[in-house]
Amino acid sequence: MKVILVSPVRGVPRPWLYFHVDTVMVNVVDVMRSGSRHRETLMFDGELWVDSGGYQVLKRGIGLGLDDVKKIYRRLWDASRLMSFDVPPSPNDPRELAERKFRASLRNYRSLRKALGNRVVPVLHVYRERELVMRYLEEYEDSEDLAIGGAVPYVLTGRGVKDGRRYALRLIAEIRERFPGRLHLLGMGSPTVTGILEALGVDSTDSATWRLKAAYGKVLLPGGGERHVTGRPIRFGKKEATDSDMELLERFLRKTGFPMLGKLGMEELLGKFEYRALINAWVVINSREPPRSAVFKSLAESLLHEVHGRGAGLLRSRHVH
């Protein structure tokens, strides 16, 4: 399974200048603000994916419509995948409202695909009523690719729906069983769940948190978890790194060949935002460890036994010693 780094066009650091990165995802809102020289500014010549900005429109009220997205997408001849302009339902939306949003996402996809072809990837959202999700899945079965959106509130925050983590992961597994093409999971590139997603047969996911966590003085650990390492006052997420946390991280970096280790010591790497971000990007791309969280470990074991009869093997075989 491939984990794609989401990056601002002008963002630093640029991990692909330090180690191999297959694919980078940028946001259409950022591309719109950056002008036409996004490739030169990004300094990346690999596979480029573009997110449509549907989430930003929902959460931040950005004035962006289907015609705007279509206009920008027409200029992006060098992008391999263009996420359709989706209308995300909230976990708490009444069914009638959620269905209107599913319908709008389908309508937008058909319009974009007609204009731009198969590079446009439809987005199907996790929602608490399985029947509605599976009904709209049928509308996308002729696509070579499918993206699943809206899983983060259910899986990574666990709020809003009773037993939402299990429900969402089981729904993803069912979509994987039914959809024959390539399956991408939007925003789920957390080391807590990447091992589970790979075992379920997901082809790719993405993460934007590698930079954000570094900016807050945090590093990501293989198998999940984040730790403060700078000694600055902690504003949220209260866990400071222990010696065992840092030993775990350093062992993982050595085992997987993190190129900065050896050139710089761990203390120096942890003390600067750019280096923390590079560590986080490396962990995001390379971690397929079993979940370190007892909650996710138990969930993974039962879910993967249910789906494949292989949960215990996954959880025993991938620890970094």
pLDDT at 159: 64
* 276 pLDDT more than 80: yes
- What are the CA-CA distances from residue 198 to residues 22, 97, 194, 225, 311 (Å)? 17, 32, 6, 18, 12
* 317 pLDDT more than 50: no
Per the rule left: phi > 0, alpha: psi between -120 and 50, beta: everything else, 58 is alpha
Q: What are phi and psi of 226, to 5 degrees?
A: -135, 145
pLDDT at 230: 87
Among 118, 126, 119, 121, CA closest to 101: 126
Lowest mean pLDDT among 42-46, 52-56, 129-133: 52-56
Residue 51 — very low, low, confident or very high, per pLDDT cuts 50/70/90?
A: very high
In this structure, what token pair is assigned to residue 31? 């591309």
Average pLDDT over residues 53-62: 64
* 10 pLDDT more than 60: yes
How far apart CA 103 and CA 27 sit, in angstroms, is: 23
* 310 pLDDT more than 70: no
How many CB atoms within 10 Å of residue 90? 16
Mean pLDDT value across the chain: 91
Domains of the chain, each with CATH number or no CATH: 2-207 (3.20.20.105), 211-286 (no CATH)
Average pLDDT over residues 271-300: 95
Average pLDDT over residues 133-138: 98
* 275 pLDDT more than 80: yes
Lowest mean pLDDT among 4-18, 35-49, 130-144, 244-258: 35-49
Angle between helix 66-75 and 95-116 (nearest 10): 30
* 237 pLDDT more than 60: no
Q: What is the pLDDT of residues 177-218, one digit of tens each?
A: 999 999 999 999 999 999 999 999 999 999 999 999 999 999
Average pLDDT over residues 229-255: 85
Q: What is the pLDDT of residues 81-118, one digit of tens each?
A: 999 999 999 999 999 999 999 999 999 999 999 999 99
Residue 319 — very low, low, confident or very high, per pLDDT cuts 50/70/90?
A: very low
Q: How many residues are recorded in the chain?
A: 321
Pairing of strands 145-149, 120-121: unpaired
Lowest mean pLDDT among 219-228, 278-287, 304-313: 304-313
Lowest mean pLDDT among 3-7, 150-154, 161-165, 274-278: 161-165
Question: Quick check: 229 and 241 in contact, CB under 8 A?
Answer: yes
